[in-house]
Structure 1
Amino acid sequence: MDENGDLKDLIRTIPDHPKPGIMFRDISTLMLEGGAFHETIDRLADLIEGEEPDLVAGIEARGFVFASALAYRLRCGVLMMRKSGKLPGSRVSIEYALEYGTDMLEMHDDACGPGAKVVLVDDLLATGGTALAAVELLRGRGAHVDQALFVIDLPELGGAAKLREADIAPLSLVAFEGE
């Protein structure tokens, strides 16, 4: 991940947000730089192993931005993984645990079918809870998911290890260790 220091340098750190002791990694500053955003998408595409996917699934909200641009680059479809109550029509959902409480993730029930090759994308990997819920939801519809792409990994929070335990290869461009 050292080769992506140019991108890492563009990610702003905001101390004590949303609460004291948290070092918030603000990816919006990277997204404001057109050339860097372009490079980010190209480098995410280069991380994909094996066959190109049928779909890129983006997790709400910043994951949509990266998933859409990556799907465009790969010439495949984009699937939205949304928070509860935001999708019209028939949908499937999964409830998952947060540090304090639970949340729900949904997708349209006809968004992907058995055998669809899907790559999951989000801006940041922390504890892995949302990504694991997305994988479970996709696999529950018969999709083949074995890779998840992130711009940022916070390895100290253990999300990558949890994804590996679920047979998902977590692939990230930059890591912020020990912070």
Structure 2
Amino acid sequence: MGHPPLTDSAFDAAFWLLDRALDDNEYLNPRKLHRLLYLAQAYYAVANAGHSLMPATFVADPDGPLEPTLFRAFAYSRPRIDLQPIPDRGKQLLDSIWRRFGAHSTDHLTKALKRHAPYADAYAQAPRTVIEVAALVAFYGRAERPEQGIGALTSQGAPHIEQVLRPRVMRSQSGRPVSVHQWRPRTLKDQ
């Protein structure tokens, strides 16, 4: 029995990223949008016991990971969609994805992601094979802890979840700002 995704639609996350790019005076091309959404789905699943950020199916397209429904909907222009608000933890994740990976070029993201096991294994089965969320968790969840490296997105690997998720800033009882992360127990291999 699955757990419902955090957002009602992949469009909610896509429009959030598009609007965030506009706020930063940047154009977010469709290929890069799909790469960022793919990473958002992966890291959300890692941080939340395999649960999905959005009801989206990513496939191993010859051009890189892509969500076919969004691809068709955005084929000619920005579609008119009735969007739903994204819960705060979803906004925090999308903001973290944008800040961590948004500066990378589309080509860099595509080349790196195409060499990562979830995409490569699915594509080896056949082009346009579905990339399973469990494969995303297995690959992106095994990244080394921050103290063991700088955590760059490369063809060989990806940053650890703690290097991707920005801490939330909250206030202590004295009013002092403190950074907080969602609690994630370590697995036996992490110790």
Q: Give me the TM-score of the superposition, normalised by structure 2.
A: 0.24
Higher strand share: 1
Higher helix share: 2
Q: Which has the higher contact order (CA 8 A, sep 6+)?
A: 2
